[in-house]
A and B are shown apart, each in its own frame.
Chain A
Amino acid sequence: MSILSELRDSRELVANLTRREVKGKYKRTVLGQLWSLANPLAAMLVYTLVFSFIIKIEPDVGDPSGLDIFAVWLLCALLPWSFFTNVVTGGMASLVGNENLIKKVYFPRSALVVANGFSAFFTWSTEMAVLLVVLLVVGSAVLPWLPLVVVVMAVLYVFALGISLLLSIANVYFRDTQHFVAILFQIWFYATPIVYPGTLVSERSDRMGPLFGSVTLEDLYRLNPMERFAEVFRNLLYDNRMPELVDLLVIIAWAVGALVVGALVFTRHSKRLAEAL
């Protein structure tokens, strides 16, 4: 695909743009990069308070890890989710935000979106590293699963990149996109088993029986790609077990599909960006 060869030729540009994003983000702050940990930490505190102490959601004990800590269980799905939203939100704004550059210099436009994804990936990696330390401290045998974790992280990056390539173009033509997506994310967040275990949905689905034909609530629920990602990350990090093969295949399919569609739409419109902006 042309977008890939284009990016291969501009590796340096992507690297430098990524550096710009990472370095520029926390300039002139005392805490610097530590701020990138503040968000997930705050979210963790709030969700733990509300969903563990007040609503008393009790996720299954990690099998076979035996872990039973809500905050850790939460983070295993929350960090991937916030990475995903960061990539998409940032990627969507990256073309509009670099309007002056696009109108004045020729360079592969996709580099902007890709670099945005990498800078979010960098932040996410530090978060995951901290989570890893915590997991080791609380006794999770996560180390053997690390290679697979990295692979799944890459798959999530590809998925998020595909979506953000698509939406960045949409946002150039209709600035409504970013506001619409902000709302969509709120709904999507609760449609994904992050603050509650997916088993709650399965139980409810079993009680309701098939909705129409043989389609159950759970079947619909599982169409959500982020649901699979959440399960896979929890399997690896919290439960310390091999995720179901079908889950892995489904997330890879989603990632490839999103990238192909995103890249096609992006390539088709990238030449007109200087005019459309």
Chain B
Amino acid sequence: MSAISVEGVSKRFRVYHERNQTLKAAVMRRRRASYEDFWALRDVDLEIPHGSSFALVGDNGSGKSTLLKCLAQILYPDDGRIETRGRVAALLEVGSGFHPELSGRDNVYLNASILGMKRPEIARKFDEIVDFAGVEQFIDQPVKNYSSGMYVRLGFAVAINVDPEILLVDEVLAVGDAAFQEKCAQKFATFKREGRTVVVVSHSMPSLRTMVDHAAWLQKGVLREVGPAQGVLERYSDSTHESSGATIGGLVHIGSGEVRIQRAEVLPLTATDEPLTVGGGLRLRLHWSAAGRVERPVVGIAVEALDGTYLAATNTRDAGDPVDVLEGEGVLECTLPDVRLHPGTYSVIASVTDESTTELLDQVRDIARFSVDSGGRSWSGGYLALPASWDQVAESTSAVDG
């Protein structure tokens, strides 16, 4: 029996050109406001299994939040049916029912009853909630005196202690400091162990990958794919990579400018059109122009993750292919035969320095991007691919090893 059944759900929003927001406008124009229908969800069918951790993924505007709100009964579908089995709590925005002038204690009771808890139940869990939020000292203070962190933590603590059989979460995992996030992660783990159902909307692929076991991918309101998390999340994140070899306009150059790297191209290692996968190769072509004659420069590239993590670099000197002179214009090709990066999109930095690599002649960040595809294989996060093999060995072998 699934925890949530979604059958043929469609949700339409009216996009008003000129909405009759005042009575005057409505009377004067004597007709209904003109509008266009926008289908946020179109004929979505889903079964969310009981006890699963389910992710809804998709680009902005794909309808995933709309679907979550429909599950939470905040929005009602125009068509189709949603059936939920069990008590539902939604964490769409924490602390939204707080009254700033009332004390933390009053607000816990108020918020918990908005979420559907009964008084004895709240009283029983009160200490746990306050403890979870870590606001014991301030519980009788008006919440408007709380720091924003305390406010959010208290709201989160209430919601998560509602004890729902089905928990709906919208990107709120990123609240509080590291210690609080740890607590939340533990709470979710407990949820899973206890066989409760969690439905989460998030953009953070790494955290989803560790959390969920099922996923649905929505695209422009239509269900693209649904199934075990591994496959769906990979195909979704592959689809979001930018196409290989694109150069980025509006480059920012730093350095003296004696040489300029005008653009970079990313090419496959061979002429085939296979997308780059883990351990595959690529070629980077740097198109340069020199103002005068530059002798013995060092040309290099570096690779960064999109979050700015510096991953690796190489240059003409380290690679043992020094450049004698740059004059006029030309193209320098760097071959990377074995790219041991995990699937994802990476950014290239190109630079030119003098012979001693102390004076920067030119540097361009994000001059090109390339993507590594999963190639249908599963991978467990991080940037670097760590080729490995695993074997069962007899215990004695390892004990006397060496």
CB distance from B304 to the nearest CB of A (A): 37
Known: A24-B102, A104-B74, A275-B75. A13 touches B113 (CB 8 A): yes
B102 touches A101 (CB 8 A): no
Q: Chain A binding site: helix, strand, loop or mixed by DSSP? A: helix
Q: What chain B residues lie within 8 Å of A222 (beta carbons)?
A: none
Q: What chain A residues lie within 8 Å of B88 (beta carbons)?
A: 106
Contact with B along A54-68 (1 / 0, CB 8 A): 000000000000000
> B21, B90, B106: which contacts A106 (Cβ < 8 A)?
B90
> A15, A16, A106, A176: which contacts B74 (Cβ < 8 A)?
A106
B73 touches A106 (CB 8 A): yes
- Of A16, A19, A107, most buried by chain B (CB within 10 Å of CB) is A16
A104 touches B96 (CB 8 A): yes
Instruction: Tell me, in angstroms, the Cα distance from A15 to B119 when the chains sit together.
Output: 10
B248 at interface by CB-CB < 8 Å: no
CB distance from B250 to the nearest CB of A (A): 38
B142 at interface by CB-CB < 8 Å: yes
Instruction: Tell me, in angstroms, the Cα distance from A113 to B220 when the chains sit together.
Output: 37
Known: A13-B113, A105-B90, A106-B90. A23 touches B102 (CB 8 A): yes
Residue of B nearest to A98 (CB): B97
A12 touches B102 (CB 8 A): no
Q: Which of B22-30, B198-206, B271-279, B348-356 contacts A (4 or more CB under 8 A)?
A: B22-30
Contact with B along A88-115 (1 / 0, CB 8 A): 0000000000001111111100000000
Residue of A nearest to B100 (CB): A24
Known: A16-B109, A16-B110. A175 touches B76 (CB 8 A): no
A24 touches B92 (CB 8 A): no
Known: A20-B106, A176-B22. A107 touches B114 (CB 8 A): yes
Which of B44-76 touch A at CB < 8 Å? 69, 72-76
Instruction: Tell me, in angstroms, the Cα distance from A175 to B26 when the chains sit together.
Output: 12
A20 touches B13 (CB 8 A): no
Which of B112-126 touch A at CB < 8 Å? 113-119
A141 at interface by CB-CB < 8 Å: no
B101 touches A105 (CB 8 A): no
Q: What chain A residues lie within 8 Å of B23 (beta carbons)?
A: 174, 176-177, 180
Contact with A along B14-44 (1 / 0, CB 8 A): 0000000111101000000000000000000
Q: What chain A residues lie within 8 Å of B119 (beta carbons)?
A: 12
Q: What chain B residues lie within 8 Å of A271 (beta carbons)?
A: 76
Instruction: Tell me, in angstroms, the Cα distance from A180 to B24 when the chains sit together.
Output: 12
Instruction: Tell me, in angstroms, the Cα distance from A24 to B101 when the chains sit together.
Output: 6
Contact with B along A180-218 (1 / 0, CB 8 A): 100000000000000000000000000000000000000
- Chain B: residues with Cβ within 8 Å of the partner, total of 32
B263 at interface by CB-CB < 8 Å: no
- Of B26, B93, B96, most buried by chain A (CB within 10 Å of CB) is B96
Known: A27-B102, A175-B21, A275-B75. A107 touches B116 (CB 8 A): yes
Contact with B along A1-44 (1 / 0, CB 8 A): 00000000010110111011001100110000000000000000
CB distance from A99 to the nearest CB of B (A): 10
Residue of B nearest to A106 (CB): B73
> A12, A27, A100: which contacts B113 (Cβ < 8 A)?
A12
Q: What chain A residues lie within 8 Å of B96 (beta carbons)?
A: 100-101, 104-105
B74 touches A174 (CB 8 A): no
Residue of B nearest to A21 (CB): B99
Q: What chain B residues lie within 8 Å of A12 (beta carbons)?
A: 113, 117-119
A20 touches B110 (CB 8 A): yes
Please count the residue pairs between chain A and chain B whose beta carbons lie under 8 angstroms apart in the complex.
78
A274 at interface by CB-CB < 8 Å: yes
CB distance from B342 to the nearest CB of A (A): 36
Residue of B nearest to A13 (CB): B113
A268 at interface by CB-CB < 8 Å: no
- Of A28, A174, A271, most buried by chain B (CB within 10 Å of CB) is A174
B99 touches A105 (CB 8 A): no
- Of A106, A272, A275, most buried by chain B (CB within 10 Å of CB) is A106
Q: What chain B residues lie within 8 Å of A102 (beta carbons)?
A: 74
Known: A13-B113, A19-B106. A174 touches B22 (CB 8 A): yes
B113 touches A16 (CB 8 A): yes
A27 touches B142 (CB 8 A): yes
Q: What chain B residues lie within 8 Å of A105 (beta carbons)?
A: 72, 74, 90, 92, 96-97, 114-115
B99 touches A176 (CB 8 A): no
B76 touches A272 (CB 8 A): yes
Instruction: Tell me, in angstroms, the Cα distance from A207 to B73 when the chains sit together.
Output: 60
Known: A23-B106, A103-B74. A174 touches B99 (CB 8 A): no
Instruction: Tell me, in angstroms, the Cα distance from A24 to B115 when the chains sit together.
Output: 20
Q: What chain A residues lie within 8 Å of B74 (beta carbons)?
A: 102-106, 274
Instruction: Tell me, in angstroms, the Cα distance from A100 to B21 when the chains sit together.
Output: 19
Q: What chain A residues lie within 8 Å of B72 (beta carbons)?
A: 105-106
Q: What chain B residues lie within 8 Å of A103 (beta carbons)?
A: 74
B110 touches A19 (CB 8 A): yes
Instruction: Tell me, in angstroms, the Cα distance from A14 to B386 when the chains sit together.
Output: 58
B13 touches A13 (CB 8 A): no
B114 touches A275 (CB 8 A): no
B21 touches A13 (CB 8 A): no
CB distance from B88 to the nearest CB of A (A): 8
Residue of B nearest to A170 (CB): B23
Q: What chain A residues lie within 8 Å of B93 (beta carbons)?
A: 100, 104
A-B contact pairs, 22 of them (CB 8 A): A12-B113, A13-B113, A13-B114, A13-B116, A15-B113, A16-B109, A19-B106, A19-B110, A24-B102, A28-B101, A104-B74, A105-B74, A105-B114, A106-B74, A106-B88, A175-B21, A176-B22, A176-B24, A177-B23, A180-B23, A274-B69, A274-B75
Measured CB to CB, the residues of B under 8 A from A are 13, 21-24, 26, 69, 72-76, 88, 90, 92-93, 96-97, 99, 101-102, 106, 109-110, 113-119, 142
Measured CB to CB, the residues of A under 8 A from B are 10, 12-13, 15-17, 19-20, 23-24, 27-28, 100-107, 174-177, 180, 271-272, 274-275
In the A-B complex, list the 3 residue pairs whose CB atoms are closest, starting with the nearest: A27-B101, A106-B73, A176-B23
